[in-house]
Amino acid sequence: DAGVIQSPRHEVTEMGQEVTLRCKPISGHNSLFWYRQTMMRGLELLIYFNNNVPIDDSGMPEDRFSAKMPNASFSTLKIQPSEPRDSAVYFCAIGGTSGTLSTDTQYFGPGTRLTVL
């Protein structure tokens, strides 16, 4: 276990509902990444944070998606309103080490499987 907790692990919701995915990384890593994985598109980077600041959100598909990182140990990815095409596995990953801005190994959380009916 790389020390990344994601909740919920599974989410089933109806189209139009708001969905909030949560990520709790262990301390000591200064970068946090949100990925989406589908069979058709593979692993896609949605957004990443460095020292709690969003660095690049160009992968966020639409305005319906938003992400926050209020502190070093918590991040959320929200979809409002949700649509069936948002169904995917959403992974949170951590990387980097305290005090550095260079590339480092990324460790993935267990993921949240989202199904939008």
Partner 1 sequence: GENVEQHPSTLSVQEGDSAVIKCTYSDSASNYFPWYKQELGKRPQLIIDIRSNVGEKKDQRIAVTLNKTAKHFSLHITETQPEDSAVYFCAASDSGYALNFGKGTSLLVTP
Q: Which residues bind partner 1 (CB under 8 A)?
A: 31, 33, 42-43, 45, 48, 50, 55-56, 91, 95-96, 101-103, 105-111
CB of 36 to partner 1, least distance (A): 11
Q: How far is the CB of 103 from partner 1 (least distance, A)?
A: 4
Mapping DSSP to helix (H, G, I), strand (E, B) and coil, where does residue 85 land? helix
98: its two tokens: 């305290």
Cα 67 to Cα 59: distance, rounded to the nearest angstrom = 12
Of residues 55 and 81, the one with the C-beta less far from partner 1: 55
Based on its alpha-carbon atoms, the radius of gyration of the chain, rounded to whole angstroms, reads 13
Q: How far is the CB of 12 from partner 1 (least distance, A)?
A: 16
- Which helix (H) or strand (E) segment holds residue 67: the answer is strand 65-71
